[in-house]
Amino acid sequence: MAKAKLENSEQQVAASPSVVKNSVVKIAVKSLSGKDAGSVDGAGWVFAAEIIPHLVHATVVWQRSKARSGTHQALTRTLKEGGKKKPYKQKHTGRARAGSSVSPLWVGGASIHGPLPRSYETRLPKRTRKQALASVLTERLQNNAIMVVDFSEFSGASAKTSGSELKTKVVAASFKSLGLIGKKVLVVCQPSEQSFARAAKNIGNVSILAAEGLNVYDLLAHDMLVCSKATIESINAGGMGESVN
């Protein structure tokens, strides 16, 4: 899935491996009414990175494997009840000889070579994960799939001073103004933006994610990434989703 989403973008990459680490990319900022509200600087090594599809694929496989519970358990002969006594005598019954009623050859018998509990988790270097995340963020920005929104009026402090809890219908109206209705939206919030997150989580096709949980799979699984200036600054500083489940 990751490889398919990035196939076309790989041909459009303007950045090279020699991108200066201190370079910046201007990202437009929108108000909740859909109007321009300035811009924010994105780090070039994150938002203008080289797109490396095979690292993105490896990271998605690592994430999905890590998420597997691995609690499957087949009933082996050890776990099946009964079967200790020979079901009938060896000869003169007209039936095939049998030594146990839980033989894998019998209907309702034990399972052989079935799945047993195990961990599917594999190791993937942190550098690879960061390169993959930078690849996806670059691809998202190139395809206008990142929207930086000014959450300041809906921040925790503003919500307290307003005297009322932020309502879902207010956020839904803002999403309509931003043209997000009908799209799968990933909203990445800072701790100070929890009032906005609580109001947005009841809107259909909207997923809420803490900034420290930003990851490759969720970015690819959604059409749009919506975040604040503070989240972009956090990503610039190197806070790139280390707590991935």
In the chain (245 residues long), the average pLDDT of successive 10-residue segments reads 51 44 84 86 92 96 95 93 92 94 94 94 94 95 93 57 69 90 92 87 91 94 93 82 46
Q: Identify residue 152 by its one-letter amino acid code.
A: S
DSSP character for 192? G
Query: In the prediction, which pLDDT does 13 show?
Result: 44
Class of domain 2-68+122-236 (CATH, top level):
alpha beta
Query: In the prediction, which pLDDT does 95 show?
Result: 94
Query: In the prediction, which pLDDT does 167 show?
Result: 86
Find tokens 């950045």 and name the residue.
15
What is the edge-to-edge ordering of all strands in the sheet holding 24-30?
Answer: 36-43, 24-30, 146-149, 224-227, 185-189, 206-210
- Provide the token pair at 106: 């019998």
Burial 104-118 (b: 16+ CB within 10 A, else e): eeeeebbeeeeeeee
Query: In the prediction, which pLDDT does 241 show?
Result: 55
Query: In the prediction, which pLDDT does 15 show?
Result: 43
pTM metric for this prediction:
0.78
Rg of the chain (C-alpha set): 27
Query: In the prediction, which pLDDT does 81 show?
Result: 92
Q: How far apart are the C-alpha atoms of 19 and 87, rounded to whole Å?
A: 75
- Provide the token pair at 147: 């929207």
Domain spans of the chain, in order of start = 2-68+122-236, 70-119
Q: How far apart are the C-alpha atoms of 124 and 126, rounded to whole Å?
A: 6
**Is residue 211 packed enough to be buried (19+ CB in 10 Å), middle (13-18) or exposed (0-12)?**
buried
DSSP string, 69-135: --------TTTSS---S-SS-SSSSSS---S-TT-TTSTT---SS------------HHHHHHHHHH
Residue 189 bridge partners (DSSP):
210
